[in-house]
Amino acid sequence: MSEGAYDERRLRDFRAGRTRGFSRRDLLALTAAVGAGAAVPGPALAASPIVKPLPAELFRPLGTNAETRWSALRGQGYYVPVDRFFVRNHTVTPAIDAATWSLEVSGSGVRGSTRFGLDDLKALPRETRPVAIECAGNARGHFSSQQGQTVSGTAWGLGAIGVGKWTGVRLSTVLRRAGLTRDAVDVQPSGLDPDFVSGGVDLGPVRRPFPVSKALDDVLLAYELNGEPLPPDHGYPVRVVVPRWIGISSIKWVGRIEVSAEPLFSPWNTQFYRLFGPGFPAEGQPFDRQVVKSAFELDAGTSFTAGARTRLTGRSWSADGPIRHVEVSTDGGTTWRRARPYGSTPGGVWQRWEIDWTPAAGSHTLLARATDVRGNTQPDVARYNTLGYVFDAVVRVPVIAA
Ligand SMILES: Nc1nc2c(c(=O)[nH]1)N[C@H]1C(S)=C(S)[C@@H](COP(=O)(O)O)O[C@H]1N2
Ligand SMILES: [Mo]
């Protein structure tokens, strides 16, 4: 079944109340509780929700999260080093002992319940894949800064993406070992980090289902990132890596995978990570895939030397396939030039590019617009949705030359 058809079917199931795990009734109860102002503070969070250092030249902290500064990717290779890979934590990075950790695979779509230790997974065939983890809310801050719209959620710039070289075992291998049945339709991994509390309601562990067809296609259970054991903040000892899908699908610190013969629902595919707003269904439009985006490898407000030739660099990416070309404007969108692609592109996850520019004194607005091999490109305006997902518009970057 195509991903689009899957989403349509789930939407019908959800409307009809054919849901397991999290129903429309739950959602209404939750909305009522939040509406009634039943906000109770959640459990106290650890002093730092993120374990690794977050130096200001590499990261911009955003609550329990930290986004990569695009200037920190200049001169870096294809893969984002761990020291600058963005972190999106709903709560905190948990301390997990790999020696006692195990993964439970159970539910109505497998015969019995099976546990896999880390050594069990490592004994299975290894596979390495270049994959982007990108938050569905990446660039959300531009809904307000560029389109004057109010959206809720973390006000990310463009730094909630990282391309990594992930190594692990195919989820399909593990599901088959666990006795996957023909009836299985959905797979739902959940994290071992603390339950997520929103508006005083405990929503349980972070989890979001995806179809068995996707699970059997290209999903990994990764235990290495860029050739090293998975770092604590990125899911140690094992995380799910779902290529091309929004970051929330790639559950970190996975402890259980429910395999179900019925469609599954969680707050992460009913309340969050749906498109709400004018023109969308009242119960929200489901979505799973990322869109086309581009970023310059510099920070807004960067100052250049007037009259001196400089080299602008950046990266563009699309979930729908490799990038075909990138156009850059240094005059606020009046004229456009083709950027030069460079570097190898394993897996076609993103494309690095460069273009020379000799700025005149004054303020300038830089824009980059990518088109992928399928012809998808970036619009001038992203479609408004209340939770601020999938911002794909061309981002306007103010810089100066003096
Ligand atoms: N268990 C768990 N998995 C999770 C999350 C989380 O908070 N807990 N955040 C999700 C979201 S919203 C994103 S965008 C990615 C971020 O992955 P990273 O922190 O390794 O960059 O992890 C996903 N997996
Ligand atoms: Mo995310």
Q: Report whether pLDDT(37) > 50.
A: no
What's the 399 CA to ligand 1 centre distance in angstroms? 32
Whole-angstrom Cα distance, residue 81 to residue 312? 21
* CB-CB contact of 154 with 199 (8 Å): no
Whole-angstrom Cα distance, residue 386 to residue 276? 6
Confidence of residue 42 (pLDDT cuts 50, 70, 90): very low
Q: Report whether pLDDT(237) > 70.
A: yes
Whole-angstrom Cα distance, residue 243 to residue 332? 33
What's the 249 CA to ligand 1 centre distance in angstroms? 8
Q: Taking residues 254-259, report their average pLDDT.
A: 98
Whole-angstrom Cα distance, residue 400 to residue 363? 4
User: What confidence score (pLDDT) does residue 48 get?
Assistant: 86
Whole-angstrom Cα distance, residue 60 to residue 72? 11
| Domains 3-43+89-269 and 293-401 agree in fold | no
Which ligand has the shortest distance to the CA of 195?
1
Q: Taking residues 35-51, report their average pLDDT.
A: 55
Q: Which pair of tokens denotes residue 188?
A: 């739902």
Whole-angstrom Cα distance, residue 2 to residue 77? 34
Q: Which residues' Cβ are closer than 6 Å to ligand 1?
A: 85-90, 133, 135, 162, 191, 193, 206, 234, 247-248, 250-253
Percent of the chain with pLDDT over 90: 88
Please state the atom number of ligand 1 nearest to the C-alpha of residue 162: 21
* Mean pLDDT over each residue of the chain, to the nearest integer: 93
Whole-angstrom Cα distance, residue 184 to residue 222? 23
Q: Which of 159, 158, 140, 138 is nearest to 149 (CA)?
A: 140
Q: Report whether pLDDT(81) > 50.
A: yes
What's the 303 CA to ligand 1 centre distance in angstroms? 34
Q: Residue 10 — φ and ψ, nearest 5°?
A: -65, -40
One-letter amino acid at 176 equals: R
Q: Taking residues 220-241, report their average pLDDT.
A: 98
Confidence of residue 289 (pLDDT cuts 50, 70, 90): very high
- CATH architecture under which domain 293-401 falls: Sandwich (2.60)
Residue of 90, 161, 290 with the most ligand 1 atoms within 8 Å of its CB, for mutation: 90
pTM over 0.75: yes
Residue-wise pLDDT for 361-393, tens only, equals 999 999 999 999 999 999 999 999 999 999 999
Domain definitions of the chain by residue range: 3-43+89-269, 293-401
- CATH architecture under which domain 3-43+89-269 falls: Alpha-Beta Complex (3.90)
Residue-wise pLDDT for 209-227, tens only, equals 999 999 999 999 999 999 9
Say if residue 103 is exposed, middle or buried (CB neighbours under 10 Å; 0-12, 13-18, 19+): buried
